[in-house]
Amino acid sequence: MEPKGYELLKIETEIGKLEKELSIHFEDLKKYETDDSMSENPTYKKLQKMNVCCLKLLETYRAYTNKLKNNI
């Protein structure tokens, strides 16, 4: 069963909040890129990749909900 109306709006609002939060974390990670020792740290690299992956996932989910909304 596909979400409709208010349910879809709640999902879109949550996606928006998560996108903003991830963007803030991504900007915080970028601040550490100037530190050479940090940018070579494997844990830092994994966190950076995970953040990019999460942002892409949210973008894809947003596109999906937009298509759902347009089909209603």
Question: What is the DSSP secondary structure assignment for residue 71, as one 8-state letter?
Answer: H
Residue 9 lies inside a defined structural domain of this protein: no
pLDDT per residue as tens digits for the range 32-63: 777 667 767 888 888 888 888 898 898 888 88
Residue 65 lies inside a defined structural domain of this protein: yes
Q: How far apart are CA 69 and CA 8, in angstroms?
A: 7
First to last CA, the chain: 13
**DSSP of 3-66, one letter per residue?**
--THHHHHHHHHHHHHHHHHHHHHHHHHHGGGSHHHHT-HHHHHHHHHHHHHHHHHHHHHHHHH
Residue 58 lies inside a defined structural domain of this protein: yes
Domain tally, the chain: 1
Domain with 27, as residue range(s), is: 19-71
pLDDT per residue as tens digits for the range 8-17: 888 888 888 9
Residue 64 lies inside a defined structural domain of this protein: yes
